C-alpha cells in the first residue's frame, strides 16, 4: 500500500506535468535524456511481457476448478498458448472504446467479489493469534522471501504505467487528480491487506509453511474459498471465484499487451528502437510486429510454468522502472520549477526556487533498496534481468550509432509524417462522413442538394463539412502515425467529395481528417463541435438476412449498423440516412477492395 501510494503520487504528477504518452520513459526523457528514457522503457517492456505470460498461466489454474486437466500437463500448456494467441489476435485487431465500459464493469465486479470475500472471511474465518504467532521475522518469513515479496508487490505500479499512456486524452482537474491518488491508494491498501489477513486466517503458517504456498500456490484465492466450513458457501465461492478470476486474468493479459503496444510504439516513434518494430497494420493501425514478438516472448516465459521465476524477474523490471520514475520527478522539480503542475506531490521542502518532494525521495530510497535486494537474493532476476537490460542497452547504442543518431538527443518522426492535415472549421451546415466507397457519391449528392436549397433560401453560401475519420485503436496513442496508404486514400476520397459537392450552386465543401476511438461517437462529437445543422449518413447495405450476409432468409427490418445507431441516438442535430439500393456493395467490403489511389467511378 505504501509503495503504491508513493508510486501513484509520482506518476500523477509526472503525467500532469508532461502530458506525453509513456509513463516513466517520458519522465526520464525530460529529466535526463533519451538514453535514460530508453532504459526506463526497456525495463517496463520486460514487465509487460512477463505480465502477459503470468496472467495467461494463472488463468489456467483457475480454469482447473472446472476441469482439472486445465491446470496440468500438455492441456495446460495448450490452454496457455490459446490464451496468448487470443490476446495477440485481439490486440492486432484493436479494441473499440466500448471495451472500456466492459472492462470497467469487470473491474468493479472483481473488486466487489474481493470485498465480499474479505467480509465473509473476517466474519467466519478471522483468527488473529494464528496470524501473529506464525510471524518470526528472519525465519518465517525469511529476509530473502520478504524482500522478493516486497518487490513483487510493485505489480500494482504497472497499472499506473499503463494508465500514463493515456496522458493528454483525459480531462481531469486538480482536485480530481488529488482524489484519484487518495482513492486508488486507499482501495489498494484495504483490498491487499484484507485479502492477506483472510488468507492467513484461512490457511495459517504451520511449521514454516502453508497450503497457500503448496496446494494453492498458483490459485491462492481458491484456497480461501476452500477454507469455509459451509459446503454450500465453499462450492459456490469456488466456482464464482474461478470464473471471475479466469475472465479477469485474461482481461489483464489483454491490458498488459495494450500497454506494451503503446510503449513499444512510443519507443519506435522516438527512434529508440527501429521503426520496423512499431510498424502498423495496414487496416487496423495496430503495431502488429511488436505484438507478435511480445507474444512469442510471453509464450517462452510461460511454458516452463514457473510462477516464482516470473514474479522475481518482474520485480527486477518494475523496481528499476519505478526508481527511474521517482528520480525523474525529483530532478524535474529543480530543472522545471516554474512549469505548471496540475497535481503536486505534497510534503515538500523548499530548496532555492524548487520544493523537494519528500514522498518521491522516500520512493527512491525504498525502490533502490528493494531492487538491489532482489538482484542479490534472486538468481533468475539477477541473470535474466541484467541480461535483458544489457542486451537492450547494446541494441540501443548500436542502432543509434549505425543510424547516425545521438545517444542522448531526442529524434522524432517529422510532424507531417505523424499527422494528416486537419482543417479547423468553427461552423458548418451539414456534416458528411466520408469512407472512400462508391456510396460516398450518393451521400455527398444528397448533402449537396440539401445545402444548395438551404443556401438559396438564405441567400448565403452553404457549407458541407466532409470529414474522414481515422478510428485509432486503444493499443495506440490517439496521435499515432498512420500508414501512408490510408492517408492517401483519405485525401483522394475527400478531394472527390469536394469536387462533387461544389458542383451544386452556392455550396462550399470543407474537408478534414479526424481521429477518434469510436466511429459513431467521433461523428457526434465533430457535429457538435462544428455546430452543424444536420448529419448525412449512408444506411447499411440491404441483404437477405440480418448482419449483411447473403445466405438467404428473410429481409431485415432495418439497415442500421452500430455506428449509425450511436449517431442517431446521440446527435444534437438532424440525422439523414441515404439507403443504398439492393446490389450495391457494403461499406466494409468495398473499403477492403477499393484502390486508395483511384477514386471510384461515378
Same-domain check for residues 378 and 459 = no
Same-domain check for residues 390 and 473 = no
Same-domain check for residues 133 and 253 = yes
* 376 within some domain: yes
**Residue range 75-89: mean pLDDT, rounded:** 93
Model confidence at 424: pLDDT above 70: no
* 253 within some domain: yes
Model confidence at 239: pLDDT above 90: yes
Residue 463 has a pLDDT of 85
Q: Model pTM?
A: 0.68
User: How many Cβ atoms sit within 10 Å of the Cβ of residue 351?
Assistant: 11
Model confidence at 209: pLDDT above 50: yes
How many domains does the chain fold into? 2
Residue 183 has a pLDDT of 65
SS3 label, residue 139: strand
Mean model confidence pLDDT for the chain:
78
Contact 568, 576 (CB under 8 A): no
Give the pairing type, strands 534-538 and 462-471. Answer: unpaired
Backbone angles phi, psi at 268, to 5 degrees: -75, -40
Q: How far apart are CA 548 and CA 585, in angstroms?
A: 10
Look up the CATH number of the domain holding residue 504: 3.40.50.620
Same-domain check for residues 387 and 440 = no
| Lookup: cell for 52 | 502477459
User: How many Cβ atoms sit within 10 Å of the Cβ of residue 589?
Assistant: 12
Look up the CATH number of the domain holding residue 329: 1.20.1740.10
**Residue range 375-380: mean pLDDT, rounded:** 80
Indicate the range of 83-92, 179-188, 250-259 predicted with least confidence.
179-188
* 548 within some domain: yes
State the residue range of the domain holding 245: 2-402
* 491 within some domain: yes
Helix axes 231-269, 155-164, angle to 10 degrees: 50
Indicate the range of 51-65, 148-162, 290-304, 344-358 predicted with least confidence.
148-162
Transcribe 127-138 into DSSP letters. -HHHHHTT-BTB
Same-domain check for residues 500 and 583 = yes
Residue 389 has a pLDDT of 92
User: How many Cβ atoms sit within 10 Å of the Cβ of residue 119?
Assistant: 12
pLDDT category, 176, cuts 50, 70, 90? low
pLDDT tens digits, one per residue of 528-556: 888 788 888 876 554 443 343 333 344 44
Higher pLDDT, 266 or 545: 266
* 598 within some domain: no
What angle (nearest 5°) sits at the alpha carbon of residue 344, between those of residues 341 and 345? 150
Residue 602 has a pLDDT of 31
CB under 8 A, 24+ apart: contacts of 334-342: 335/30, 335/31, 336/17, 336/30, 339/17, 340/17, 341/13, 341/16, 341/17, 342/16, 342/172, 342/173, 342/174, 342/177
Same-domain check for residues 226 and 290 = yes
Same-domain check for residues 239 and 330 = yes
* 411 within some domain: no
Which strands make up the sheet holding 462-471, listed edge to edge?
507-516, 462-471, 430-434, 534-538, 574-578
Residue 162 has a pLDDT of 52
**Closest residue by Cα to residue 425 from 533, 339, 530:** 530
Model confidence at 391: pLDDT above 90: yes
Same-domain check for residues 149 and 88 = yes
Alpha helices in 502-561 (DSSP H): 519-530
Give percent helix, percent strand, percent coil of the chain, each to the nearest 5: 60, 10, 30
Give the pairing type, strands 354-357 and 348-351. Answer: antiparallel
pLDDT tens digits, one per residue of 142-173: 766 666 666 666 655 555 565 554 444 445 45
Residue 125 has a pLDDT of 85
Q: How far apart are CA 481 and CA 516, in angstroms?
A: 13
Residue 102 has a pLDDT of 74
**Closest residue by Cα to residue 477 from 17, 25, 38, 52:** 25
Amino acid at each position: 500500500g505504501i509503495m503504491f501510494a508513493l508510486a501513484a503520487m509520482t506518476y500523477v504528477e509526472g503525467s500532469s506535468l508532461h502530458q506525453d504518452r509513456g509513463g516513466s520513459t517520458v519522465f526520464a526523457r525530460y529529466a535526463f535524456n533519451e538514453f535514460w528514457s530508453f532504459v526506463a522503457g526497456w525495463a517496463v517492456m520486460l514487465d509487460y511481457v512477463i505480465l502477459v505470460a503470468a496472467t495467461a498461466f494463472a488463468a489456467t489454474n483457475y480454469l482447473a476448478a472446472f476441469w482439472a486437466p486445465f491446470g496440468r500437463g500438455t492441456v495446460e500448456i495448450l490452454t496457455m498458448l490459446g490464451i496468448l494467441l487470443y490476446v495477440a489476435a485481439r490486440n492486432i485487431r484493436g479494441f473499440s472504446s466500448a471495451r472500456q465500459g466492459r472492462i470497467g464493469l469487470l473491474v468493479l465486479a472483481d473488486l466487489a467479489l474481493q470485498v465480499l470475500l474479505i467480509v465473509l472471511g473476517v466474519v467466519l474465518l478471522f483468527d488473529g493469534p494464528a496470524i501473529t504467532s506464525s510471524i518470526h521475522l528472519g525465519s518465517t518469513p525469511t529476509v530473502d522471501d520478504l524482500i522478493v515479496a516486497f518487490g513483487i508487490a510493485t505489480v500494482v505500479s504497472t497499472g499506473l504505467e499503463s494508465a500514463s499512456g493515456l496522458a493528454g486524452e483525459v480531462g481531469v482537474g486538480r482536485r480530481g487528480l488529488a482524489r484519484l491518488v487518495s482513492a486508488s491508494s486507499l482501495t489498494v491498501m484495504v483490498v491487499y491487506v484484507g485479502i492477506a489477513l483472510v488468507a492467513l486466517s484461512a490457511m495459517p503458517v504451520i511449521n514454516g509453511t502453508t497450503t497457500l504456498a503448496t496446494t494453492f500456490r498458483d490459485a491462492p484465492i481458491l484456497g480461501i474459498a476452500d477454507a469455509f466450513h459451509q459446503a454450500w458457501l465453499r462450492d459456490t465461492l469456488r466456482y464464482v471465484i474461478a470464473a471471475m478470476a479466469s475472465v479477469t486474468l485474461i482481461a489483464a493479459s489483454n491490458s498488459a499487451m495494450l500497454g506494451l503496444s503503446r510503449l513499444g510504439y512510443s519507443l519506435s516513434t522516438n527512434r529508440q528502437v527501429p521503426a520496423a518494430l512499431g510498424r502498423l497494420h495496414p487496416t487496423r493501425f495496430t503495431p502488429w510486429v511488436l505484438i507478435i514478438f511480445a507474444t512469442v516472448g510471453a509464450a517462452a516465459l510461460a511454458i516452463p510454468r514457473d510462477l516464482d521465476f516470473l514474479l522475481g524477474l518482474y520485480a527486477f523490471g518494475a523496481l528499476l522502472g519505478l526508481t527511474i520514475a521517482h528520480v525523474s520527478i525529483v530532478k524535474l522539480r529543480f530543472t522545471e520549477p516554474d512549469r505548471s503542475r496540475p497535481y503536486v506531490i505534497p510534503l515538500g521542502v523548499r530548496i532555492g526556487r524548487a520544493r523537494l518532494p519528500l514522498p518521491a525521495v522516500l520512493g527512491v530510497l525504498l525502490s533502490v533498496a528493494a531492487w538491489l535486494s532482489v538482484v542479490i537474493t534472486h538468481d533468475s532476476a539477477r541473470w535474466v534481468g541484467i541480461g535483458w537490460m544489457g542486451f537492450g542497452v547494446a541494441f540501443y547504442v548500436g542502432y543509434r550509432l549505425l543510424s547516425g543518431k545521438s545517444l542522448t538527443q531526442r529524434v522524432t518522426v517529422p510532424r507531417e509524417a505523424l499527422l494528416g492535415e486537419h482543417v479547423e472549421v468553427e461552423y458548418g451546415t451539414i456534416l458528411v462522413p466520408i469512407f472512400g466507397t462508391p456510396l460516398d457519391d450518393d451521400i455527398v449528392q444528397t448533402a449537396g442538394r440539401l445545402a444548395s436549397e438551404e443556401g438559396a433560401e438564405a441567400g448565403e453560401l452553404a457549407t458541407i463539412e466532409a470529414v474522414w475519420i481515422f478510428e485509432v485503436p486503444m493499443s495506440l496513442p490517439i496521435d499515432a502515425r498512420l500508414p501512408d496508404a490510408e492517408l492517401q486514400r483519405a485525401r483522394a476520397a475527400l478531394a472527390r467529395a469536394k469536387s462533387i459537392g461544389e458542383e451544386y450552386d452556392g455550396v462550399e465543401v470543407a474537408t478534414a481528417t479526424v481521429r477518434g476511438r469510436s466511429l459513431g461517437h467521433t461523428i457526434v462529437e465533430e457535429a457538435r463541435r462544428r455546430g452543424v445543422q444536420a448529419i448525412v449518413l449512408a444506411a447499411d447495405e440491404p441483404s437477405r438476412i440480418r448482419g449483411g450476409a447473403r445466405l438467404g432468409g428473410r429481409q431485415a427490418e432495418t439497415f442500421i449498423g452500430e455506428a449509425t445507431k450511436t449517431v442517431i441516438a446521440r446527435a444534437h442535430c438532424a440525422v439523414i440516412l441515404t439507403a443504398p439500393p439492393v446490389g450495391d456493395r457494403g461499406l466494409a467490403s468495398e473499403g477492403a477492395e477499393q484502390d486508395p489511389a483511384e477514386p471510384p467511378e461515378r
